[in-house]
């Protein structure tokens, strides 16, 4: 898929890795994630991620005593224009359980994908090859974007 098509969607969901690549300036994936975050900041596309993402990105900095990075992540999720940190509510839990049962994916992946479905996202951007389209959401592999 090309990046322009992705950014034409009304709303996209982002997996944890997308944020990590951006924050850590991953040399392989930064050229692909920067345009996504620029489009979000410019109001071209709305983005959603599960509250699970905040938990996942904060573990390593907190484990390493790097409170500044942990706070930076919290700021990113609470103050970024166009980015919604979606709560994991009953609808998400229920849909995640269905995904675990039918698609046989891990719980964190099921929660992320269920969040995308429950928030009416068109695409879910990830780098997890184990995930497939579900519930009307197309899974987009970041490594395959051009």
- Domain carrying residue 56: 3-144
Predicted TM-score (pTM) of this structure: 0.94
Tens of pLDDT along 40-71?
Answer: 999 999 999 999 999 999 999 999 999 999 99
Tens of pLDDT along 87-141?
Answer: 999 999 999 999 999 998 999 999 999 999 999 999 999 999 989 999 999 999 9
Q: Which residues of 107-144 are buried (b: 16+ CB within 10 A; e: fewer)?
A: ebbbbbbbbbbbbebbbbbbbbeebeebeebbbbebee
Domain CATH code at residue 112:
3.40.50.1010
Domain count, the chain: 1
Q: Which two tokens stand for residue 15?
A: 């997996």
């Amino acid at each position: 898929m090309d990046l322009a098509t992705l950014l034409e969607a009304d709303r996209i969901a982002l997996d944890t890795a997308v944020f990590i690549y951006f924050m850590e300036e991953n040399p392989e994936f930064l050229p692909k994630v920067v345009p996504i975050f620029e489009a979000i900041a410019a109001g071209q596309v709305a983005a959603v991620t599960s509250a699970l993402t905040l938990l996942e990105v904060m573990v390593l900095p907190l484990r390493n005593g790097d409170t500044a990075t942990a706070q930076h992540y919290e700021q990113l999720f609470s103050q970024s224009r166009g980015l919604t940190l979606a709560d994991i509510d009953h609808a998400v839990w229920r849909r995640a359980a269905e995904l675990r049962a039918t698609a046989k994916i891990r719980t964190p992946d099921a929660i992320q994908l269920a969040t995308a479905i429950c928030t009416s996202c068109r695409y879910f951007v990830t780098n997890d090859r184990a995930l497939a389209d579900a519930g009307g959401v197309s899974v987009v592999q970041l490594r395959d974007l051009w």
